[in-house]
Amino acid sequence: MKTLVIGGVAAGTKAAAKLKREDRSAEVTLLTKSREISYAGCGLPYYVGGLIETEEELIVNTPEKFAGLTGVQVLTGREAVGLDPERKSVHVKNLDDGTEEEYTYDNLILAVGASAIVPDVPGIRLPGVFQMRTPEDAQNMRSYMEEHEVRRAVVAGGGFIGLEIAENLHAKGIAVTVIDMAPQIMPNVLDPEMAAYAKRHLQKKGIRIQTGTALKAVLGGEKASGIQTDQGTIQSDMVVVSIGIRPNTAFLKDSGIKMDRGTIVVDGQMRTNLPDVYAAGDCVVVKNRITGKPQWSAMGSSANYEGRTLAQILAGKEKNYPGVLGTGVVKLPGMNVGRTGLTEVQAKEAGYDVETVLAVTDDKAHYYPDADSFATKMIADRTTHKLLGIQVLGAGAADKMTDIAATAIAMDARLEDLENLDLAYAPPFSTAIHPLVQAAYILENKISGEMVSMTPAEYAEGKAKGYKVVDVCPNPQIAGAFYVNLSSVNGPIDGLDKDEKLLLVCLKGKRSYFLQNRLKAYGYTNTVVLEGAQYFNDVKVEGGKFKVSPEDITRVKALGFLQDKRTEDCFNARVITRNGKITAEESRVIAEAAEKFGSGEITMTSRLTIEIQKVPYANIEPLREFLADAGLETGGTGSKVRPVVSCKGTTCQYGLIDTFHLSEVIHERFYHGYNQVKLPHKFKIAVGGCPNNCVKPDLNDLGIIGQRVPAVDLSRCRGCKVCQVENNCPIHVARMEDGKIRIDGSQCNHCGRCVGKCPFGAVNTETEGYRVYIGGRWGKKVAHGRALERVFTSEEEVLDVVEKAILLFREQGITGERFADTIERLGFENVQSQLLSDELLERKQENLAAQKHLKGGATC
């Protein structure tokens, strides 16, 4: 029996290898267009992010190794160009020499996979534009990032792959914007309210998200410099297009094979409509395991299952591929997202009597270090209690929650079947009653009427209008709400009418349910629990004011919101600029934001950061989201590299260097690039265009000053009675002595004012460049920085010194001390020696990976 396999990534290699194990006498030949087979496509984003260090780790098997392990004949560089089912042959193009080849078969397996969709928009072929489908894509992207020092990236596509790429780019310190033309991220994967929560989370972590935004063009001349969307332009050093994939089935057009929107239609035995032709993997449409309807599920997991099952079928075993549930999981910064089964929208479309619940539960014992929460949306049929789907968001093992649910759905479980599942428990792993079981309990209570609730989607739609909000938190949390101390409720509550519409809200939902249970017993008839409580919902009471807790004051300070001490609940929002520079459009956005979310007043800090005045606490997140949509951010506080400040050396008559350019480079590389790096204290950088020191570079942790070092040629000095060099020296260190001009090098500040003033050319430039001062400080304890002994002659040298200074401070600084204190403790000569060598850069990754200074010393 001669079996021909077309395609060599997941389904093709799995089917070929398993078939040889089932029947050693089978003659199996595998053809693939690529030079590689069996590569880790799902690992490509993590290679870009550096978690997977080498290209070799992406290759599961080489063609030679695979052939040796399995006995399958592997031919690479072969592209299938036609299928003749009557002759039972495949026409192939040999990519090495361009010749046509023909291969016959007894059985044919089509596992040709899918390719990234490349939109037909201007600029899409520019250098700096990438897809993410093959190891070559990942290798090219990583090389480009390093060679071009990418600081800003746009990812077009908010699905699993797009978000994985965004997460890995963000981890590299790159400012990332994700756009998607759909109204939500992860469309058809999550329900809208779950996607909205994930979007808010990503924006809080610093990834900009723009939904409802279509890619219209890639901008740039020699390389990509941004994108044009239907909502405006976004500047970027790199563009990643991840808007979907398309099955590689165009060559089958005239073969008579049955297809559905480009995917090959197969039955439960993976058979096509053509005799002895089978298909598996990303190029096929199978069925949904719950509804039985066709579903395309292009996942590496299902491709492997399909390939294995198909091999067993070809070997004569009674097997059937049951279909897919669309199970998936994605890692995002600080949050994992898992899902399986039907969404609420899909379940309703399939005709089920749908009921859902949003349950917030602990992901492990609450007292265990790193314990967090799951926000779980569970979907079931109200009549039969059959479990239909689940969506899970949380920092913990969302995959475990998803996998248990997938198993339950595959076994046709009802909610009652989950009640007493004997699942593993220990404090580091779970709670005594598993979080998934808790969600099932809550949904059962809702279906039975024991709990009457409102979903987050209903709350967002305005269903709570007319309800009195009752705060059931351990301490008052909700501005303007009626507070109830749960532990003291032993009868009717003064101030709450028994027939009044009451919305019960706590931190996660449990205390609200407990109160509802009590109130029912005391005759209250119209109470509703808000599912997800404050954890998931932005709960507001119109006109409500409250005193912000010290914990929240600290939390929002880290986001760039400093409390206005004249008020109880208003904050001044620091909007980060590029050394005071913003575009006209950004200026309009900031002005609109100040009117919409603050007092309408805007100020400028001494470090050229804009502040929007008097933003109420409740407006903080809406303001951040509004600014993020325009590419603006708040911040500039905490024990981190602070926004860079410089003089306007580009326009000043005394300017020696392009301070705008240098400060913007430093801003991108060290404010953005080191945004997640915790330091012992704040680290301020200033750039001065000349030794006039208008922005006091020597009073910053690190200061850079433009330099022009004069050189005296005494042979050209005529000993003039009135010396122009002497007259032009602003600090009077150039003097005529014994009829010759002399410049005291130990006193000269290298301002360059004397250069070229001698009509006979006695004073010219010896060196132009930068002087770096370290250890300055202004405030309660003033310290003047001290200059390193070298005058640096290139921008790259200066940037290296800046990075080494930050790394030294992180590595050798003590939490709470300023850089000046570190230098004093270690000794200036010691620090200078380290900054002038490369050892700090050599151990950079180890330094940045260390868990240090988790609570720094900065107070503002």
Q: Pairing state of beta strands 37-39 and 59-61?
A: antiparallel
Secondary structure E strands in 655-762: 685-688, 702-712, 734-737, 740-743
Query: In degrees, to the nearest 5, what angle opens at C-alpha 761 toward C-alphas 755 and 763?
Result: 35
Q: How many CB atoms lie within 10 A of CB 310?
A: 29
List the catalytic residue out of 42, 652, 694, 720: 42
End-to-end CA separation in angstroms for the chain: 75
* Rounded distance between C-alpha atoms, residue 148 and residue 150, angstroms: 5
Tell me which residue has tokens 């299928």. 83
Angle at 661 (CA atoms; ends 657, 666), nearest 5 degrees? 105
User: SS3 of 338, please?
Assistant: strand
- Written as six digits, the tokens of 458 are 């209903």
Token pair of 354, please? 């749908």
CA 202 centroid distance within chain? 6
| Distance of alpha carbon 90 from alpha carbon 795, whole angstroms | 59
Which two structure tokens, joined as six digits, stand for 71? 């006995």
One-letter identity of residue 831: V
- Contact status, residue 183 vs residue 196, Cβ threshold 8 Å: no
Alpha helices in 11-134 (DSSP H): 11-22, 44-48, 63-70
- Is 506 one of the catalytic residues? no
Task: Quote the tokens at residue 489.
Answer: 């409720």
For residue 196, CA distances in Å to 200, 532, 586 come to: 6, 14, 25
> CA-to-CA distance for 165 and 80, rounded, in angstroms?
30
Instruction: Give the distance, in angstroms, between the CA of residue 236 and the centroid of all CA atoms in the same chain.
Output: 15
| Amino acid at site 177 | T
What kind and span of H or E run contains 27? Answer: strand 27-32
DSSP-H helix ranges across 756-818: 795-812
249 vs 257: CA distance, rounded Å? 10
Angle at 123 between CA 117 and CA 128, to 5 degrees: 80
- Residues whose CB falls within 8 Å of the CB of residue 334, separated by 6 or more in sequence, listed in order: 201, 205, 395
Measured in whole angstroms, the distance separating CA 96 from the mean position of its chain's CA atoms is 40
Closest CA to 705 of 583, 617, 798, 624: 798
Show contacts of 59-66: CB within 8 Å, 24+ apart.
Answer: 59/135, 61/13, 61/37, 62/36, 62/37, 63/8, 63/36, 63/37, 66/13, 66/17, 66/37, 66/38
User: Count of residues for the chain?
Assistant: 860
Q: Cβ–Cβ contacts within 10 Å for residue 450, how many? A: 14
- Helices marked H in 118-269: 135-147, 160-171, 192-204
Q: Which residues have a catalytic role annotated?
A: 42
